[in-house]
Amino acid sequence: MAYPHTIPDLPYAYDALEPYIDTATMHEHHDKHHQAYANNLNKALEALPALHKLSAEQLLKNLDKVPKASRTAVRNHGGGVWNHSFFWPVMGKPGTRPEGELKAALDKAFGSYDKFKEEFTKAAMGRFGSGWAWLVLDKGKLAIMSTANQDSPITEGKTPLLCIDVWEHAYYLKYQSKRAAYVEAFFNVIDWKKVAEHYAAAKK
Ligand code: MN3
pTM (two decimals)? 0.97
Which pLDDT tens digit goes with each residue over 112-126?
Answer: 999 999 999 999 999
* Ligand 1 center from residue 76 Cα (angstroms): 12
My answer on whether 122 and 38 are in the same domain is: no
Is 142 in contact with 176 (CB distance < 8 Å)?
A: no
Q: Give residue 5's pLDDT.
A: 98
* Ligand 1 center from residue 104 Cα (angstroms): 30
3-state secondary structure of 149: coil
Sorted by sequence, the CB contacts under 8 Å of residue 201 that are 6+ apart come out as none
My answer on whether 115 and 170 are in the same domain is: yes
CATH of the domain at 50: 1.10.287.990
Is 92 in contact with 191 (CB distance < 8 Å)?
A: yes
Which pLDDT tens digit goes with each residue over 110-169?
Answer: 999 999 999 999 999 999 999 999 999 999 999 999 999 999 999 999 999 999 999 999
CA 162 from centroid of its chain's CA atoms = 7
User: How far apart are alpha carbons 200 and 83 in whole angstroms?
Assistant: 19
> Tell me, what DSSP letter sits at residue 94?
S
My answer on whether 126 and 66 are in the same domain is: no
* Ligand 1 center from residue 190 Cα (angstroms): 16
* Ligand 1 center from residue 100 Cα (angstroms): 30
* Ligand 1 center from residue 19 Cα (angstroms): 18
User: How far apart are alpha carbons 52 and 74 in whole angstroms?
Assistant: 12
User: How far apart are alpha carbons 126 and 124 in whole angstroms?
Assistant: 6
Which pLDDT tens digit goes with each residue over 175-194?
Answer: 999 999 999 999 999 999 99
* Ligand 1 center from residue 3 Cα (angstroms): 21
* Ligand 1 center from residue 171 Cα (angstroms): 9
Tell me the backbone φ, ψ of residue 152, rounded to 5 degrees: -125, 140
Count how many domains the chain has: 2
* Residue percentage of the chain with pLDDT more than 90: 97
* Ligand 1 center from residue 34 Cα (angstroms): 7
* Ligand 1 center from residue 97 Cα (angstroms): 24
My answer on whether 119 and 70 are in the same domain is: no
* Ligand 1 center from residue 108 Cα (angstroms): 31
Tell me how crowded residue 9 is: count the other CB atoms within 10 A of its CB: 8
Structural domain boundaries, residue 42: 23-90
CATH of the domain at 185: 3.55.40.20
Give a yes or no: residue 7 inside a domain. Answer: no
Give a yes or no: residue 110 inside a domain. Answer: yes
* Ligand 1 center from residue 192 Cα (angstroms): 20
Is 137 in contact with 203 (CB distance < 8 Å)?
A: yes
